[in-house]
Amino acid sequence: MEPRLPNLAKSCAAFERATQLIPGGVNSPARAFGAVGGHPLFIERARGQYLFDIDGNRYLDYIGSWGPMILGHADPRVIEAIQRAAEKGTSYGAPTENESRLAELILRAVPSIERVRLVNSGTEATMSAIRVARGVTGRSGIVKFSGCYHGHVDSLLVAAGSAAATLGVPDSPGVTPGVSSDTIVLNYNDADAVAQAFDSHGEKIAAVILEPIVGNMGTVIPTKTFLETLRRETSKHGSVLIFDEVMTGFRVAYGGAQSLFGIEPDMTTLGKIVGGGLPLAAYGGKAEIMDQVMPAGKIYQAGTLAGNPLATAAGAKTLEILRDEPPYQQLENLGAQLAAGLESAAKRAGIPAQMQRVGSMMTLFFSEAEVTDWPSADRCNRKRFSDYFWGLIENGVYMPCSQFEALFFSNCHTHEDIELTIAAAERVLAKMANN
């Protein structure tokens, strides 16, 4: 029997209501289904590896709140930690020991971080890291890479990927020419362009920021030469190398992508998993850099809710579980199974596709050629991805709603879940090939 689109009447009504209240009906563009058409599903609850929408439909979840739910949704240990913290109060505007507890976990996991400052979001983390880099170097120039998304920071919202690419507005209105003129945009994995940029502008470049594994134009993996060139050129010219590990930190490995590649940045931004699913992020780095942040130094950065007791409780408990019960080999095994199955399904259907994966983050690109940067990602077949997405929704599988987003799964997913997902993809891709 052919699968049928589940009943989405309540989600449709909820979206109509939301569009009268919220710009575009969503509070973050990546949720808008702009890349796949239709309207977003409104979620009522989640548990383990499943999402449940307000129409009562259940989906195997391959978003995981865009990465942080590595332990699955509503892990009882994390929920208990949040509840215990909430019973004591939700915000104090004063220091707590739990902030230091979380900071210690971060420092022990990521050796390149000698000092860390907690903030509320990945955007705050990257914005603050850029300010600190400019403050310690006395320079204004920033190098970023097309397709890497670092939050809605003015100087970084230039040739951005993810939702901005989906909506076709990589250069957002409201970002002034004065701000964007300090940003040099290069293609990811282009080591020669990096060297040339430093040859021409090295004395003006305060920092280079990048996703060490990209998740915001789909999963794109750096070459060894690219990372080594970045480390060499930034060190040579006295610039700050910033790894944006908001997505990859504690996801691809406990020590993040930098631990996989053996490249030590000067600064790192973290988010997603570090907050255990609550709004929390962090930036950190060498002590000589971070000790210039107020009140230790003169570079200003602050936040009333930074280090919120509920978020630090969730984050610390999550990191402790990942440290004491590491799921990474399990996730690697499941990831290999899923990647091979999805790639094979596309091949059997005769649909050109490229699978790219690191651990439990991956992307099936509907492209005939390998994806190494934004120009190659941009050549993917968006219509084909849309058909694939809705076909999987029909089969109870919730994939990212954009070709330019990585999928994630949790340690609650089972081999049986993966097999069900592969079987669903086979049906969908075969149907696509026949249409």
For residue 119, which phi and psi values (nearest 5 degrees)?
-135, -170
Q: Quick one: which of 102, 140, 104 has its CA closest to 119?
A: 102
Q: What pLDDT, on the 0 to 100 scale, is given for residue 416?
A: 98
Q: What pLDDT, on the 0 to 100 scale, is given for residue 163?
A: 47
Cα 133 to the center of its chain, rounded Å? 22
Q: Tokens for 388? A: 């694939």
Please tell me the distance from the alpha carbon of residue 197 to that of residue 143, in angstroms, as a whole number: 9
Average pLDDT, stretch 215-232?
Answer: 97
Do residues 376 and 370 lie in contact, with contact meaning Cβ atoms separated by under 8 Å?
yes
Tell me the per-residue pLDDT of 252-297, one tens digit each, with 9 for 90 and over. Answer: 999 999 999 999 999 999 999 999 999 999 999 999 999 999 999 9
Q: Which residue has the higher pLDDT, 21 or 34?
A: 21
Q: Across-strand partners of 205?
A: 141
Q: What pLDDT, on the 0 to 100 scale, is given for residue 186?
A: 94
For residue 301, which phi and psi values (nearest 5 degrees)?
-165, 135
Q: Tokens for 287? A: 């002590």
Query: Looking up tokens 């973050």, which residue turns up?
Result: 28
Cα 334 to the center of its chain, rounded Å? 20
Please tell me the distance from the alpha carbon of residue 234 to that of residue 248, in angstroms, as a whole number: 22
Tell me the per-residue pLDDT of 69-86, one tens digit each, with 9 for 90 and over. Answer: 999 999 999 999 999 999
Cα angle: 282, vertex 318, 271; to 5 degrees: 25
- Report which residue type is found at 124: E
Left if phi > 0, otherwise alpha if psi is -120 to 50, otherwise beta: which for 137?
alpha
- Any idea what DSSP says for residue 6? P
Residues contacting residue 390 through CB under 8 Å, at least 6 positions apart? 5, 36, 37, 38
User: pLDDT grade, residue 4 (50/70/90)?
Assistant: low
Tell me the per-residue pLDDT of 172-201, one tens digit each, with 9 for 90 and over. Answer: 778 777 777 889 999 999 999 999 999 999
- The tally of CA atoms less than 13 A away on the side-chain side of residue 182 is 21
Tell me the per-residue pLDDT of 336-370, one tens digit each, with 9 for 90 and over. Answer: 999 999 999 999 999 999 999 999 999 999 999 99
Cα 178 to the center of its chain, rounded Å? 28
Helices then strands, counting H and E runs in the chain, come out as: 15, 14
Q: What pLDDT, on the 0 to 100 scale, is given for residue 166?
A: 39
Please tell me the distance from the alpha carbon of residue 115 to that of residue 92, in angstroms, as a whole number: 23
Q: Quick one: which of 344, 342, 366 has its CA closest to 354?
A: 366
Tell me the per-residue pLDDT of 149-174, one tens digit each, with 9 for 90 and over. Answer: 999 888 887 754 444 443 333 457 78
Which H or E run includes 61?
A: strand 58-61
Residues contacting residue 236 through CB under 8 Å, at least 6 positions apart? 198, 202
Over the range 334-357, which residues count as b (16 or more CB within 10 Å of their CB) and which as e?
A: bbebbbebbbebbeebebebbbbb
Do residues 349 and 429 lie in contact, with contact meaning Cβ atoms separated by under 8 Å?
yes
Sheet with strand 141-146: strands edge to edge:
115-119, 281-285, 267-270, 240-245, 205-210, 141-146, 183-187
Q: Quick one: which of 157, 221, 187, 163 has its CA closest to 404?
A: 163
Beta strand extents in 140-263 (DSSP E only): 141-146, 183-187, 205-210, 240-245
User: pLDDT grade, residue 306 (50/70/90)?
Assistant: very high
Angle at which helix 382-394 crosses helix 415-434, to 10 degrees, equals 130
End-to-end CA distance of the chain: 17
- Domains defined along the chain, listed by start: 76-324 (3.40.640.10)
Distances (CA, A) of 370 to 354, 365, 429: 6, 9, 20
Please tell me the distance from the alpha carbon of residue 281 to that of residue 10, in angstroms, as a whole number: 33
Give me the active site residues, please: 149, 244, 272
- Report which residue type is found at 68: P
Average pLDDT, stretch 56-81?
Answer: 97
Tell me the per-residue pLDDT of 371-423, one tens digit each, with 9 for 90 and over. Answer: 999 999 999 999 999 999 999 999 999 999 999 999 999 999 999 999 999 99
Task: Tell me the pLDDT of the chain averaged across its residues.
Answer: 94
Q: What pLDDT, on the 0 to 100 scale, is given for residue 410?
A: 98
Q: Which of 129-133, 146-150, 350-354, 421-425 has the lowest mean pLDDT?
A: 146-150
Q: Tokens for 310? A: 């509920």
Q: What pLDDT, on the 0 to 100 scale, is given for residue 121?
A: 97
- Any idea what DSSP says for residue 5? P
